[in-house]
Structure 1
């Protein structure tokens, strides 16, 4: 079913913009990498360490630009992730038990196997805390590659990879909250809990004002930041408070029938405008917020994050077990875990492959799941205080993400051509 751009779902818009969004991320990452390894590298470090203060009465919050991006802007990214998770759980792909089981099983394997590979290589060493780095999938990059492949890839595979990445992100959020959190300040944690409770009450009562959720979200972010938990968790917490409701088909039909009644041109035009207004108002706060955040995150938040975090100075860290663990975790552990988890779920009869998707294509999805980039870079910043180890982790993420994108695209092109050959000849490709 086709739809106009204005009525397209957030998922459809995300896939359509995926190629450009991925390209934008690549370009900003390359700019940061070249800048950090050029004679102007000092200006890059100076930009990261430029401090800005936000004063509120007698108190002030002073953070470097790098921290404002990683703790502030990325909270918006995590808000969008939370909205996507909630929507998928309630009315999306994860609302179906069998489809959800496939995505959860694949994501679980895709997190456990990379983390285990990394832990084996770095057990007892200074880089042991980085086991969470190769666990996540970058939705923008992965879907960007699929968008470039176009109709060669079945829609079912795109939907599966999206659901997988969303479950993956949920797992990453839990890992950050449980394992990459500093000492907790109970007073601020209590204030954060009260603020979140107020947001949840508003959501349960069907409050639709996005401005109210915005104010509560800013307070929640500040209290979570001061509590010692990572501030971006506030974005996910707020997302689960924003209400979602199903549209009323009867109301739409009545308005559409009224708009179709005969009359003068200006009368029909006025009815159509009323119908458009009603359709706009009938969108749930979650859908409205998700539509508003998609372009902000895709074309501003993520590129700025890449610019601030992909500037890795190669000479300062070199390659070691941290870089090797991240690279093997994403390139080898991800496809093994994703395909293995999905195969086990299908074998046990609790899940089924998406329509028109076969196991060779699932291997391609597993390879693309190795594009860690955004979330992996983010976890790297939390896992390592040592600059040399952080450099190794980021180098591993960048190398593995590029190789995963190339290998995944090449593999899917190969299996799609073999599939076309079978469809045309009726024979296996090697006959």
Structure 2
């Protein structure tokens, strides 16, 4: 039975009718031919009950709409990727030669592709990128599988670590938590092989958010502190500040206000001065004083500190408008801060704007938080 479709639809709190409308809207935007509305209603019901198989034409649309892989769409666990059986040494050597070419000439291009995917993700969300990200990871994994010598493998492993961590955060955003966890594990393995403690610390710290979202904030605190220990003195000052800021947020969610404030002080102490946000040693890290003010406001709002509001409005004044998902999170933070002060009209206003932004990116994670905050009004 194709229950994976039903699970993904429920994660977005869509009715079958809403899914049909989204299929039609997507088809119209991309000039695709689909069945009539009446037929689509029948298809969706039959797909979810295993009475009709999903053709590749519709599977492609559903993957883009829901941000899920084929395995998740069809309700089956991801199979362990095993190279196709090779027919003698010639085929094997051909794949090894291909991996060698990738490691020496294409790693820079593949890394640039990761950054392009990161940029599109910030502005459009993760759901629309599922096919591109899946293919990108497969290329890098295959290259690493058939790379031979350490000097060949390390650059590929480094590129894979960055791509896997991005894919994991995207999976977490669309509610695919098991996929997120597996991608973080892949990123950590690749970082270890590449001997890149910064990538390992970053992947480990972000993985703590999976635990936190799953209702295990105390274990998440332990994991993010382990990430700081993993990085030790080998991480850049900006990444160190990022790790402390993440610790502060998770400590707030774990009900540890003193630890939260201490981590925020450490983040402020470590953050390099200036407007520059991107870490040249870790391209996935964006953090300057404006970003840290937003993070501080988020953490302080979670522990009910009145200082949160000033920090958050300061962050709202300087946030990059292309960071759509971050803007949705900031609106949620402001709603939380005003909720603690009993300012319900402002809460509703920020939640309304947060929902509009979350709908643009298809963020299940933000929609879930919006619904939780709405229920507290």
**Under a length normalisation based on structure 1, what TM-score does the superposition of the two structures give?**
0.22
The structure having more radius of gyration, on CA atoms, is: 1
TM-score, length of structure 2 as denominator length:
0.24
